[in-house]
Structure 1
């Protein structure tokens, strides 16, 4: 390792990693974007030409102005310096300064740390990532054959964005943690791989969503940014000054695509993780549901964004290498992320496939059955995991009582989700325009009730999480179990909603099918059995007294 350390610190290695590699990647990114803009111009696509050129020139100007503000070279003639800045050559000027410092044998890393990482980070978030989203939108919306230059441009933009984020991470770490070692190399490679997954899935989700719902593309990004900015300023007391309140929105704008400033606080870290998962899955689900026509990339794109959950696992490995409490991170991040993902992907997928089977009347394929079974298992697993990590730590000890309770809870969730999904699928097959009404009313009543009863949910952030929890509870009871009144209300609303929807479907549907009576009986019996299992769980929690409590214990 000593030999590698000496190689890392050698003059040639420092010139390569501090000057040649970042400068060449910057040039390749800008030049390929300009070449693609010229290609659009000569092909007559003036709209794409203007947008592509705008996403090159605008951010480049901002990056050069930012560098001019962050740095000051007293040795250069001031007129030459001003000329270079007017010509937007501040980036080249900075790399020339670094190269000069390296040849003199001075510590160039300090000069780099004070200017280039933050400039390249904002340039990447203003140019490379928007350029990726734009080119992906052009490819999807036009349906034309993808050119080699488009592929090269997109790869260069992705590499530039990943390099910018990784460089910013490197220079914001403690200097002692930057020493060349096995731990450092592992952590560096892991972070790089994480950022490739993170940026790729985010860009894919945004590009797909824009191709189907272009007027609404700013909404999910803006909501994400607003929530993160308010939370960041609220949590960090240092950011409540005027100057820092201007800086926090900029950092959080970067964090809507790649996590950087959210590392400063544990709560902003897991909140950003949840919002990213929620945003990506919501956007790709909306695109898949509302798009017109069928394309070969539909399912691969849906599955690709679906695996953005890998980001959460990379986060855990990253924290593990930092020596932080991973068990605590898992408890605070993955359960809620998987829970929201299950309610936004697995459960809607179940309802959708059931609706397709009922409405089309076609023979059910083996693949559909496998897909529905996996979606059900994923949803049950997500709810059970969330329950496990929200149970008192003393109750999680492996014992006969714990295993019994775990099995009863899992069986309850199978009954509960199956009955609810079957009910929604049947109702949608006969009354598709009205399917949102019973679910929406259920969610609204539960959200208002939860906020009124729970004092901790009456601030801005608490209301947001209460609304999210109650959206989950319209299909599977989770947050409602915190309070006895919300549990009883949700049980009544679920029973009432399920029985009402299946009764209306059975009474007003046209034609007769072999599954009519079994489906009716299945929903009613499943809903009643589910309510019984819920009562047992509340007895275990000590929220409800029962004459059978001693037996259960």
Structure 2
């Protein structure tokens, strides 16, 4: 974990410094209007890149640590006083919140960097945060409960999901890099993040992608939860309340996501789409059309990143 943290921390620091530099240059009164606009765009791209790296860092570091901490707590059953228990729960909640905040920060940064996208309003931001927090929280609890009963067997459903989602991403023919090797590595990392939540890597209608992904997502969740229920009878208080919390978070996730798209989405959109075979295929496995092929490819990596979380 420390090596992963060091690998990602240095590029984040570099992009933060460049972000501040470009921001200062964009306000330099000695520069022309065109130069200010150019520096402002570079500033947004650096911010986008830094937020993307923070997103990867959060899920590479905080997500596995959360699962391990919950596993250790459930298996060791330490006797703690009220103060120690409060500190432990606060630490878990802070890690959970950091994952959700990284998703919100990246989504906001992505919209800022693209002229055609409206940004999240003050009302939409907390709604989006609750949606992502419920999604990630339910998933982490399911994985934590499963690992308490089956230990190393947790890698089987996780790896199957990772491989399946990565293949799905590759089949979507994403175009973040000109180098196919780099593109595949990026797809693999995004596939890892999608163990815990959904990432939309292509433009277009996302309803069917959400539908198919969450069908598999919640099937896995409740399958793991059911096996855990049969293997370990509910005994300690956190077993019972954790079991109930998963159902509450899952229901809240769906409700809040629908509220977000119905009332809080920056662009007014219809939740329901007509069921059409071609539309469904293009939404789930979207391929580049002729207009996209003819678009000018930006040379900067930040300009190529179009990961859209909703």
State the TM-score, normalizing by the size of structure 2. 0.70
| Distance across 1 between alignment mates of 2:117 and 2:16 | 25
Is the 1:284–1:305 Cα contact (8 Å) retained in structure 2? no
Which residue pairs with 1:287 in the alignment? Answer: 228
SS at match of 2:198: coil
Give 1:178 deviation, angstroms: 4.4
Which residue pairs with 2:210 in the alignment? Answer: 269
Is the 2:136–2:196 Cα contact (8 Å) retained in structure 1? yes
Q: Residues 3-402 of structure 1 correspond to what in structure 2 (within 5 A)?
A: 55=1, 57-64=2-9, 67=11, 91=13, 94-99=15-20, 102=23, 105=27, 107=40, 109-110=43-44, 112-145=46-79, 147=84, 148-173=86-111, 174-178=114-118, 184-236=121-173, 238=175, 241-261=180-200, 264=203, 266=206, 267-292=208-233, 294-307=235-248, 308-320=250-262, 321=265, 322-328=267-273
Give 1:268 deviation, angstroms: 3.4
Is the helix fraction higher in 1 or 2? Answer: 1
| Distance across 1 between alignment mates of 2:237 and 2:135 | 24
State the TM-score, normalizing by the size of structure 1. 0.41
Alignment: residue pair count: 250
Give 1:263 deviation, angstroms: 6.4
Is the 1:273–1:312 Cα contact (8 Å) retained in structure 2? no
Which runs of no fewer than 5 residues in structure 2 stay unpaired? 29-39, 277-284, 286-310
* Highest RCO, 1 vs 2 (Cα 8 Å, sep ≥ 6): 2
SS at match of 1:259: coil
Is the 1:231–1:268 Cα contact (8 Å) retained in structure 2? no
Seen in structure 2, the aligned counterparts of structure 1 residues 247 and 319 have a Cα distance that, compared at 3 Å, is same
Seen in structure 2, the aligned counterparts of structure 1 residues 124 and 325 have a Cα distance that, compared at 3 Å, is same
Seen in structure 2, the aligned counterparts of structure 1 residues 236 and 101 have a Cα distance that, compared at 3 Å, is closer
1:62-109 Cα offsets, whole Å, 9 max, x none, are 2135x1xxxxxxxxxxxxxxxxxxxxxx63x54455455555636484
Larger Cα-atom Rg: 1
Please tell me the root mean square deviation across aligned C-alpha atoms, in Å: 3.0
1:153-202 Cα offsets, whole Å, 9 max, x none, are 222212221111111111222345445xxx72232221111111111111
Q: Residues 488-507 of structure 1 correspond to what in structure 2 (within 5 A)?
A: none
Is the 1:121–1:161 Cα contact (8 Å) retained in structure 2? yes
1:281-326 Cα offsets, whole Å, 9 max, x none, are 1112211110156222333222221231332333333333243331
1:427-454 Cα offsets, whole Å, 9 max, x none, are xxxxxxxxxxxxxxxxxxxxxxxxxxxx
